[in-house]
Every structure is written in structure tokens, then in C-alpha cells.
Amino acid sequence: IDISKIYFIIIILVSWLLKISIDNINIFIDGKIVYGSRFIKYISPLIIASSVFIFIYFANLNIKNNFIIKFIKLSVPTYFGIYIIHLHPIIWNKYIKNCAVSFVQSNCIVMIMKIFLTAILIYITLSFIDYLRLKLFDYLSVNNQIKNFCNKIEVILQSKI
């Protein structure tokens, strides 16, 4: 078993144990939940560390199925864009933050289906938006412009040394 997978599991368990412990302490002291979710938010150092370990795990994974390889090559370039877009304050607060609140009124199976369908819909929508961004960047040669800019900066810095 890959050590990065073990570290990932340990960090996720520690994150949730800390959250549950802090929530229970807050309920006992103040009667309300205040700080526990800090351990499971995207910007939590524990979640960032777990992301690094899961990245290492998948980077070392040997995939032989051509369909999966093609899917990965097509979809992976949009993942960071999906992350950035869906955490933007306007997108998050206006469209995503409370989109599943009404799901609680459904029975358990329907609620779980709605959650998964919503996650898939968000993924597909934001993938498409980021795919369009990638195509626009290709059309405008943004990568080449960035490389040229970096080369100019490097020349300037080298001349100063």
C-alpha cells in the first residue's frame, strides 16, 4: 500500500476528529457550534496537506486503460479552474453556498441523489466554463505571451547579476 494513501487517510480522519471534538466542546461550553468547521474547509492546512498526499498517490498510479487515460487527459486541465471558479465569492455565495438546503426536506435516498446530481452538474458546468477559458487562452496565445514575458524578465535579471 502506498504511504501517501495512508497519510491522506490519517489527515482526513484527524481533520474530522478535530472538527467533531471542537464542535462538541463548543456545544458543551456555549451551546452552539462555532469553530470546528475550520478543520475541514478548503483553506485548512490539514486539507491542503491531504490534497498533496492524494496528488502524490495519483501521480504514482499506473493506469493502463486507454479510455481512462483519454478521460484524464481531457478533464484534468480544467480541475484547478473548477476549484478557483467555484470558490470565487460571487459564485460561491450566490449560486453554490445554499443550493442544497432544500434537499433536507426530501427523503434520505432522494436527498443523496440530489446532492450527487448537483455536484455532477456543478462539475460539468464549471468544466465547460474552464474548457472555454483554455480554448480562449490558446486562441489568444496567452501561454506564449507569458513565456515571452518570463524570458524578458529572466534576461533583465541576468543582466543585473
pLDDT tens-digit map of 89-132:
898 888 888 888 899 898 999 999 999 999 999 999 999 999 99
Confidence (pLDDT) at 1: 63
Which of 51, 112, 114 shows the shortest CA–CA distance to 79?
A: 51
Cell 483554455, located at residue? 134
- The pLDDT, as a whole number, for residue 112 is 92
Residue 30, all three cell numbers = 456555549
pLDDT of residue 116: 94
pLDDT number for residue 36:
67
* Runs of H (alpha helix) within 76-141: 79-87, 89-91, 108-139
pLDDT of residue 149: 93
Nearest to 6 by CA among 59, 57, 48: 57
pLDDT band at residue 66, thresholds of 50, 70 and 90?
Answer: very high
Q: What is the mean pLDDT of residues 22-41?
A: 78
Highest mean pLDDT range out of 36-45, 74-83, 120-129?
Answer: 120-129
